[in-house]
Structure 1
Amino acid sequence: MILKRSWRIEVQWMSEQSMSERSPAGSPAGSSAGSSAGSSAGSSADRTRSAILTAARTCFAETGYDGTGLRAIAVRAGANVALIQRYFGSKEGLFLAAILPRLDVSLLLDGPMDEFGARAASIMRMKVGRGFDPMMALLRALATPSLAPSLSAALSRQVMAPLAARLEGDEPEMRAALILAHLAGYEMLLRVLQLPELAEAKAAARETALATTLQDLADGPR
């Protein structure tokens, strides 16, 4: 049963990642382009905007918010800085447009909550090396005070609120925040700092321990 559940999660994860990468930001996957002459310019603008967002996600994930300049994003996107400023106003505006729409916990919540810990731990394992990771980009931006209010509001709205709504028992909002804290801390120590005690541990043991901790928080006090 565990292997079957892990396989189902992995197939769904890969499918959603593929759809997400193919769809322009702000447009549903599979939407058809307009056939009128006026749609040509709009399509070109959409492609340019999408290229900028894709380049921004890559740069922010690789070098962090402070280490990324608009010129580097423009070069990667095949655009120019003036065009980025026209579409997004500033680097902060571009960061928020590129990262926040990708904060999606639907896969975490897709299933019984008594399997939440195992499901979350499996996703944390499978997403390594599988394309853009919004959590990694957020972690690399935490040292920028000007972003804190926007990031805090987005995490509350897009992550903690839907998670808390699925938690039964007392203080679901606090437990949702603690789950997020564990996931973010795990990501930071394992993938950013590569803490030896985590990085060199057996993957199965590490995943089981994380799953147990997350499930305890999801279940709440007994």
Structure 2
Amino acid sequence: MAQEEPGAEVGRGVPPRRKDADATRSALLMAAVLRFARDGYDRTSVREVAADVGVNQALVYRYFGSKDALFEEVSAHTSAIGELLAGPLDAIGPGLGDLLSREGDQGAPGLVALLRSPGSAAAMERLRQLVTDDFTLGLARRLPGEDGRLRAELVAALLVGVGLLQAVVRTPQLGGGNPERVRGLAAALVRPLVAPVDRAAGGGAERPAPGAGSPGSAADAGPSR
């Protein structure tokens, strides 16, 4: 049975609201996700998060312990990225493009919150962990070829770079351009990085991705005359 939450705001003459503890905690976490993704760590206060839910800030400390602990939970909201990595390789390009074409706090709010918190050492460490340990290693294990880790880091660079320009720098095209165009071009950039290795017929040697420089290729032939 739901019980009255200690510390909830009670208006004069208004009976105390009865809230389920789990529901209140979830509401506070979702409010924090939106606040941190929009304003970053430094510009977000516990009082504002509590006010967004309509409760006393004491409940934030009760359920999460501290602002740092609350931010740590928010930064874990990267489920869309995890789902992307768990899907088929040929869906990663379009999926990443779709993720990047959304508004930052709708696509990967945990990542956006980290990108908007450069002054927090904890946020930067969590970002490093997300990029190198969670994303890059997870993707590299699934990519064929000896340079799987390098290609995975290039995909991560695209994810972080575009996220930074969208959410923090807010460049004209990535921050407010056509989302479908962003999706299509991002998918095209990712596709050759995650595609299975193309081997020459009968030879078993790796064939460079289209456009990659190699001895005798057009990229090394010098300008045409």
TM-score by length of 2: 0.67
Alignment of 1:174-213 (within 5 A): 174-196=150-172, 198=174, 205-213=181-189
CA distance in 2, matches of 1:127, 1:196: 14
Identity among equivalent pairs (%): 31
1:89 and 2:33 are equivalent in the alignment = no
1:40 is displaced (CA, Å) by: 5.5
**Is 160-169 or 47-56 further displaced after alignment?**
160-169
The runs of 5 or more residues in structure 1 that have no matched partner are 1-36
In structure 2, relative to structure 1, the CA distance for the partners of 1:45 and 1:120 (3 Å cut) is same
1:218 and 2:185 are equivalent in the alignment = no
Contact 1:57 1:132 (C-alpha < 8 Å) held by counterparts: no
Larger RCO: 1 or 2 (CA < 8 Å, sep 6+): 1
**3-state SS in 1 of match to 2:44:** coil
CA distance in 2, matches of 1:190, 1:109: 22
CA distance in 1, matches of 2:72, 2:20: 22
1:114 and 2:90 are equivalent in the alignment = yes
CA distance in 1, matches of 2:103, 2:77: 17
Query: Which one of 57, 71, 81 corresponds to residue 47 of structure 2?
Result: 71
1:91 is displaced (CA, Å) by: 0.8
**3-state SS in 2 of match to 1:141:** coil
User: Which stretches of structure 1, 4 residues or longer, exceed 6 Å deviation after superposition?
Assistant: none
- Root-mean-square deviation (Å): 3.1
In structure 2, relative to structure 1, the CA distance for the partners of 1:143 and 1:176 (3 Å cut) is farther
1:172 is displaced (CA, Å) by: 2.6
CA distance in 2, matches of 1:89, 1:199: 35
CA distance in 2, matches of 1:58, 1:102: 13
In structure 2, relative to structure 1, the CA distance for the partners of 1:196 and 1:76 (3 Å cut) is closer
CA distance in 2, matches of 1:133, 1:61: 6
1:151 is displaced (CA, Å) by: 3.4
TM-score by length of 1: 0.67
The runs of 5 or more residues in structure 2 that have no matched partner are 6-18, 198-206, 209-225
Equivalent position amino acid for 2:94 in 1: A
Deviations 1:22-59 (A, max 9, x none): xxxxxxxxxxxxxxx6x768982212211210111111
Query: Which one of 159, 163, 167 corresponds to residue 139 of structure 2?
Result: 163
Q: Give the paired residue count.
A: 185
